Structure 1
Amino acid sequence: MLRTEIEKALNVLKNGGVILYPTDTVWGLGCDATNEAAAAKINAIKERSADKSFIILLDNDSKLQSYVTEIPDVAYDLIEYAENPLTIIFSGAKNLAKNVINEDGSVGIRIVKHDFCQQLIQRFRKPITSTSANKSGSPSPLIFDEIDEEIKSAVDYVVDWEQELQNPKKPSTIMKLAPGGQFSFIRK
């Protein structure tokens, strides 16, 4: 049941743990985006460099101002009208773990339109990280069955929701948005 899975994932996040969970895109590794030790655990699981930043997920665009110093007005239109999952890289990240933010001070944020993620983030009241559930340099698993057993056993909790889905999801479109509103696509 959805509520039960949200409760279990919530407890892990509150205790600084790492979850393997379904998102609006590919399966992700998630933790409290304000917890530096939890983000470091994900880097260890993925065997990736500590200087790589994370995408963070929020349940509502009204929370952007808590994590970004300056939000161009166009951001709200982009979020509202995006037909596919859209990650926007904003300058001036704040109130996040140092190792979640890019070295240039930016952060990628996606407002999720996915029941499990929205409800989990709403209940957690903080952003969570989202990075593909694979070792660094390996292809992103598009369905749960493609996730390496080593990843599954390294996390603190594997969410039992949407594991049976066989329709592959794609990673999000990534767009960099400057404070003045100029933008460029990083990944389409």
Structure 2
Amino acid sequence: MEGGNNKLDTQIFNKDNIKQAAQLLAQGELVAFPTETVYGLGADATNEEAVKNVYRAKGRPSDNPLIVTVADEAMMKKYVTEIPADAQKLIDHFWPGPLTLILFVKEGALPDAVTGGLPTAAFRCPQDPLTNELIHTLARPIVGPSANTSTKPSPTTAEHVYHDLKGKIAGIIDNGPTKIGLESTIIDLSVDQPVVLRPGEITPDELSEVLHKKVLLNKGTVQTKDVPKAPGMKYRHYAPSSPVYIVDDPADFAYIPHDSSVGVAALADNLHDLGDADSFSLGVSIDEAAHNLFGALRYFDSNEQIKTIYVQGFAKGNISAAYMNRLNKAASGNHFKK
């Protein structure tokens, strides 16, 4: 796929085609894969040209480092300088699972296209058995950014991936909808004080409990000239084509326009008296809302009639930090003011 210009026949794989998918990865092709969080876009992490094709397929800035997806701890050991005691505790408790660890890597072990030229890389071992089999079969780690066009909402189904990347990648492993719906928690263990760079289902409090020390939550931004340590820290993410506004108080849904050019995503109890506005239920709880957020944004993005999207915000709850992190990026920080 030179420069991402050649159209590919994007194949759909299942549990019976994992060997074929691994062969494509070994040949330098791109294959999307399922995880418990969102679908990832896989390429052999040791093949620099294949990794560069990930950036091309996604339209992603090349200074945005990629997560290295491994089959197990033993595979990760081949690339990191060491596994610190804190990392070992988290691996023992949370892997395989939705937790990504930033560690120092051996010099030259991974291409700069993966690390962004940094001395660190982000490692993750997902739960999905098909993806685990895929990486074991390849016998090398794969990169795993979300399998979507850059800036668009992350994909939670194989259909979402096909919509964005059909003709740009060789294949998609379909294992149904993802269970969590938001990307993994990323914790930086290359610093003295562990810090979460991207919130996810596993919260800083849960990490602190395992490590028996305070884990911070990063709320800063990355400057234009700097290379971020983790995905999602620097550029616009998760956004549909139409503007998104966060509605902090559900009572304020009464004050938004109620016409057919408006989309509303909220908990089921708040989807009433909306007139001609189109609606998408986020479920009945913050946990369900987190699972359904990207699906809601994609639902409205696929409807050309929708010109403005209003989404319910949440101030409290274990998962609210991760949910609001993604929603604030999708809305570029815009909140509805009545």
Residue in structure 2 matching 1:146, options 160, 164, 176: 160
CA–CA separation in structure 2 for the residues paired with 1:183 and 1:168 = 24
Residue 13 of structure 1: which of 4, 17, 25 is its match? 25
Contact 2:45 2:110 in 1 (8 A): yes
Q: State, as a whole percentage, how many aligned pairs show the same letter.
A: 30
TM (norm. structure 1) is 0.88
Give 1 or 2 for the bigger CA radius of gyration. Answer: 2
The yes-or-no answer on 1:134 pairing with 2:148 is yes
Q: What is the number of equivalent residue pairs in this alignment?
A: 184
Alpha-carbon distance in structure 2 between the residues aligned to 1:56 and 1:166:
19
Which consecutive aligned stretches of 4+ in structure 1 deviate over 6 angstroms post-superposition? none
Partner of 2:195: 184
- 1:79 touches 1:111 (CA, 8 Å); kept in 2? no
> What does residue 31 of structure 1 align with?
43
Query: Which residues of 2 match residues 1-188 of structure 1 at below 5 A?
Result: 2=15, 4-82=16-94, 84-94=97-107, 95-147=109-161, 149-159=163-173, 161-163=174-176, 165=177, 169-178=181-190, 182-188=193-199
TM-score by length of 2: 0.51
The unaligned stretches of length 5 or more in structure 1 are none
Structure number with the bigger relative contact order (C-alpha 8 A, sep ≥ 6) is 1
Change in Cα spacing, 1:179 to 1:125, as seen in structure 2 (3 Å) is: farther
5+ residue gaps, structure 2, are: 1-13, 200-338
Shift of 1:93: 4.5
**Aligned-CA RMSD value:** 2.0
CA contact (8 A) 2:188 2:195 kept: yes
The aligned amino acid for 2:167 is S
- Equivalent-residue separation in structure 1 for 2:112 and 2:77 (angstroms): 18
The answer to whether the Cα contact below 8 Å between 1:91 and 1:105 also exists between their aligned partners in 2 is yes
- State the one-letter code of the partner of 2:65: S
Instruction: Map Cα deviations across residues 116-146 of structure 1 (whole Å, 9 max, x no partner).
Output: 1111111111101101011211121222333
In the alignment, the residues of structure 2 paired with residue 80 and residue 114 of structure 1 have an alpha-carbon distance, to the nearest angstrom, of: 17
Shift of 1:96: 1.5
